[in-house]
Amino acid sequence: MTIFAKCLNCGRMEIPFKYLGMKMGGNLRTLTFWKSVIDKIKSRLSTWKGRIISMSGRVCLIKSVFNALPLFYFSFFKAPAIVCKIIRRAQAKFLWGWDFEGKKIVWVAWDKICSPIDMGGLGIKNVRKFNVALLAKWLLRLRLEEVGVWRDIIESRYSS
């Protein structure tokens, strides 16, 4: 491999590496693979922000952070249950205002909060269901699109 890198006048990268900001080639089942996503979510949902904005502002921030940051990871990789639990816990802590002025009382179950607005919830996406929905999009595309390079790669890799 070093010979090819010298011939092409390029460097060798070690696995895992980042491509377009997303980690490639790591073990998806480990927490270290998902650490960058979790850290970004936690930093955007920091407790000092929760002190200066209202409850509706917190809901809006949770929705925008969750819709933007892990979108690429969740659309390509299935997140382990522990990662979904950590993200959900960070969202709940931010929403209820924990970590400043002590622990607050949780008045509504998280499942109710994740339900749509017209059903009485706040419309915050359930982490696990959102991940599965994004992955299901690829299955739908695989069935609907008959041609494409990505389809040929998937079929050659996983068909028997």
Q: Is the pLDDT of residue 100 over 60?
A: no
* pLDDT, position 156: 84
Burial class (CB in 10 A: 0-12, 13-18, 19+), 144: exposed
Tell me if residue 8 falls in helix, strand or coil: coil
Burial class (CB in 10 A: 0-12, 13-18, 19+), 155: exposed
* pLDDT, position 99: 61
User: Considering the entire predicted model, what is its pTM?
Assistant: 0.78
pLDDT in tens, 107-118: 889 999 999 999
Cα→Cα distances 42→47, 90, 113, 131, 150, Å? 9, 6, 19, 18, 34
pLDDT bracket for residue 79 (50, 70, 90)? very high
* pLDDT, position 139: 86
